[in-house]
Amino acid sequence: MIRGRGTTFFCGSSARVLNGVCLLLTLVALLCLPIADIQIYQVDPWAELGRMGTGLIWPHWSDAWELSRAVGQTVAFALLAVAIAAPVGLLLAMLFHWRSVRILCASVRSVHELFWGLIFMQIYGLSATTGLLAILVPFSGVFAKVFAEIFEQQSLEPGRTLSPKVMGLRRYAYTLIPQSWPALVSYTRYRFECALRSSTILGFIGLPTLGFHLETAFKQGQYAEAGALLWAFILLIATLRFWLRPRLLPFYLIIAVVLLPETVGFSNGGYLWQFISRDIWPAPLLAGEWAQATQWYIELFQSQVWPALVQTLALTQIALVLSALVILALYPWATRSMAGPMMRWPGRFLLLFLRSTPEMVLAFVLLLLFGPSGLPAVIALALHNGALIAFLVANASDAEWGGRLSRPDDPSGLKRYAYLETPRRFPAMLAFLFYRWEVILRESAIMGILGIATLGFYIDSAFEEIRYDRALVLILFTAGLNILVDTVSRRLRRLAHPEAHLEASGIDEKVDRDNG
Amino acid sequence: MSPHKTLVRLRHESLSLGGHKVLSDISLSIKSGEKVALVGPSGAGKTTLLNLLYRRVPELCALQPQAGGLVDLLSAYQNIFMGALERVGTLAALWNLVHPLAEHRREIEELARLLDIEEKLWSSVDRLSGGQRQRVAIGRALYRKRPVFLGDEPVSSVDPLQAEALLKAILERHETAVISLHNRRLALTHFDRVIVLANGAVRCDCASSELDSSALDRFYLEAGEDSSVIPGVPEHDAWAIGNG
């Protein structure tokens, strides 16, 4: 519908519509530049960067046992969380025609794992329960939504040959679930990779996963150890398809339960009620003083919510446009047609490296180099998301190499890049970028935990000061913002390329709302 | 069910899809005990009419859509078993996915002999040929054990001899049947009523004894759009046309 209108406005050139969208986004990002807090504090990051590079090239780890335990616990959290979240999501997907289920899923999804972690930590302490719940609650919502979308794409014919009286689980078990089984499995597999990243960065709030050791190593300047941890993580993801075998899953799950860390501090489920009924509400509200409560909320909005919202959105917009630049700059280096069949491997490796490393880790490293401003966050987001999409774009180009569209007189090099490859990939690339928009927003909010003045910063401080009433308001605003951007990006995606959705449906799962 | 009771009555039904009129002003009724052949060139609206009939009395009908509605990942056995889903509880149905239920297994194996797909009963249906898949789809419809069969070209992908045998089996096991097909000989010999559709309208609705093959040909020719119909083709060669 929207596209139809666009074509009449722009006299039938698809390129002009797309360029218009890009121009608009770039203008918005430029307007955001003066608002966003992006300055370099440290004058000479190069020496530090050199030491980090050395650490990455010569990784070293003295205590192999501790390293393997950190890897084991990272995998354990991710595996158990996905093992629970996927069936829960499947059940919810079967009920997705209920509005209440859709709203529930959208709301649990819109709060980042780290924020869930901070919430559950108040109730269950630094425990295995906290780590598991932090991943599986938002993941259940994501699984439900994506599984329901996969079901929607299936043919309705098998269902129509059944008796109309066959309902619920029986109907799903024989029709939609087996019909979409390969898609369900491949999405769950991809989601497990996301869970590994989530599990890693939960270390930043104290759980004993790789992130915890990474943060410690980086903060202490032990870059060789940090390098070893990073390599361990990259290897874990790169070898996923070799060790993640369906048959070995029961075995892995048992080991995962054994490996879960013991509870540190307290674990008090009975505290839950007090948390919900008292702690998350401001004192005037509990006392029934409505005027003062309203005043409290208005003040909080003016002093924290508004500036944080502005900062989060500004950084998101800049990161979005930078991601596009990263894609355009990096994807040719990983293609057969432009880098060559052999020379594309270093490019592909770089993209895989950037794609596998969680944004939080990238941002944390850059933060050490550039000082505490929005700049590291923006660069990290652009590198991670840009590399992720560039990888998909390069794959799409390779898939077409030598295909029915290629001609012997096709240009090569820069001409090929400008006249052939980029125009062909552009619509899908934009569609992917809009898919990632919401993810970039979620991530730039969460970057606040590292000390950048986005929503996450205020949420983290509220938790630190044990002001759960404030944390609740901030989290609700963050969630609302996510839902809003999700809606806008879905509209824009249709505008950018209505067919891209269909074309990309095979790789949708790779770019859909994952958390990095 | 008492014979000759009206099952479905359509009165001046019209249906448009995307601005295109698929059915226009259809009035007809189907009585129980009738065996109705639905013929007419491709695009005449046969599928839409069958779906319309199905929606009126879904609980009485075993529907066999044109593509068969098979679930690729499941075995032929499971695909046939699906016809019985309403007769088994949820837990039994889930267990059957892991281990076939003995009584159903016996019955379905017998059905598979009739359909000549015994050897393929435990292969997933994505490994079967078009004809085998169609026989599995027939198996599911038969296993529904409903009084009314609604089939959209149910025997279009099997060879002539088998098609006739399968059609007989279908008609024997159902009190009432409405089946669309392109093979005019089968339509005239196995059914007692023939409805000819063209361009979404009923062109002829009469007893099969009142029609002959050349009369049917004329309806195809009048519709004028279906180039696959070659007039004057001898009866036994009509298969080449009928498989479309």
Q: How far is B209 from chain A (nearest CA, A)?
A: 32
**In chain A, pLDDT over 90 holds for what percent of residues?**
39
Give A-chain residues touching B64 at CB under 8 angstroms. Answer: 161
**Closest partner residue to B65 among A157, A179, A181, by Cβ?**
A157
**Of A406 and B51, which is predicted with more confidence?**
B51
Contact A164 B59 (CB under 8 A): yes
Contact B73 A162 (CB under 8 A): no
Which residue from A155, A160, A162 is facing B85, i.e. has the nearest CB? Answer: A162
Taking the Cβ of residue B58 and every Cβ of chain A, the question of whether any pair is shorter than 8 Å is answered with yes
Contact A395, A464 (CB under 8 A): no
Which segments of B4-133 are extended strands (E)? 6-17, 20-31, 35-39, 61-64
Q: Measure B74 CA to nearest chain A CA, in Å.
A: 7
Q: Which residues of A touch B (CB under 8 A)?
A: 155, 157-166, 168-171, 173-175, 178-179, 181-182
What are the structural domain ranges in chain B?
1-60+148-244, 72-145
d(CA B87, CA A73): 47
CA-CA distances (angstroms) from residue B120 to A173, A461, B34? Answer: 22, 65, 34
Nearest to A36 by CA among A376, A460, A516, A362: A376
What ipTM was reported for this prediction? 0.74
Which domains, from first to last, does chain A contain? 1-35+280-516 (1.10.3720.10), 64-279 (1.10.3720.10)
Task: Indicate the residue of B86, B90, B97 with minimum beta-carbon distance to A163.
Answer: B86
Does B78 sit within 8 Å of A179, measured CB to CB? no
CB contact under 8 A, B78 and A174: yes
Q: Among all residues of chain B, which has the CA nearest to that of A166?
A: B86
pLDDT confidence bin for B4, thresholds 50/70/90: confident
User: Which of B203, B207, B235, B206 has its CA nearest to residue B220?
Assistant: B203
Task: Please give the structure tokens belonging to residue B153.
Answer: 């070209």
| B1-60+148-244 is a CATH 3.30.2350.10 domain | no
Q: Per the structure block, which two tokens stand in for A223?
A: 């870059």
For the stretch A105-149, pLDDT in tens is: 988 988 889 999 998 988 888 888 899 999 999 999 999 999 998
First to last CA, chain B: 36
B65 touches A: beta carbon within 8 Å: yes
Nearest to B73 among A159, A168, A178 (CB): A178
**pTM of the predicted model as reported, rounded to 2 decimal places:** 0.80
A173 contacts in chain B (CB < 8 Å): 93-94, 97
Cβ of A158 within 8 Å of Cβ of B97? The answer is no
CA distance to partner chain A, nearest, from residue B242 (Å): 23
Choose the closest CB to B71 out of A158, A164, A165.
A158
Which residues of chain B lie closer than 8 angstroms to A158, CB-CB? 69-71, 82
For testing the chain A interface, which of B54, B82, B150 should be mutated: the one with the most A CBs within 10 Å?
B82
Residues of B in contact with A159 (CB under 8 A): 69
Residue A193 has pLDDT above 70, yes or no: yes
Question: What are A464's two structure tokens?
Answer: 């630190």
Interface test with chain A among B75, B81, B85, B149, by most A beta carbons within 10 Å? B85
Q: How far apart are CA A437 and CA A312, in angstroms?
A: 12
Find out whether A509 and A186 touch, Cβ atoms under 8 Å: yes
Whether A80 has a pLDDT exceeding 90, the answer reads: yes
pLDDT of B80 over the 70 cut: yes
Is residue A513 predicted with pLDDT exceeding 80?
no
Residue in A151, A174, A175 to test binding to B, most B beta-carbons within 10 Å: A174
Residue A503: how many CB atoms within 10 A of its CB? 14
Tell me what pLDDT residue B219 has.
81
Q: Between residues A361 and B179, which one has the greater pLDDT? A: B179
Q: Please state the rounded mean pLDDT for residues A185-198.
A: 92
- Kindly report the nearest CA distance between residue A375 and chain B, in angstroms: 50
Q: What is the pLDDT of residue A263?
A: 65
Token representation of residue B187: 């339509």
Q: What is the rounded average pLDDT of the residues A183-206? A: 92
Q: Do B144 and A169 touch (CB under 8 A)?
A: no
Residue percentage of chain B with pLDDT more than 70? 90
Q: Which of A67-81, A229-243, B222-236 has the lowest mean pLDDT?
A: B222-236
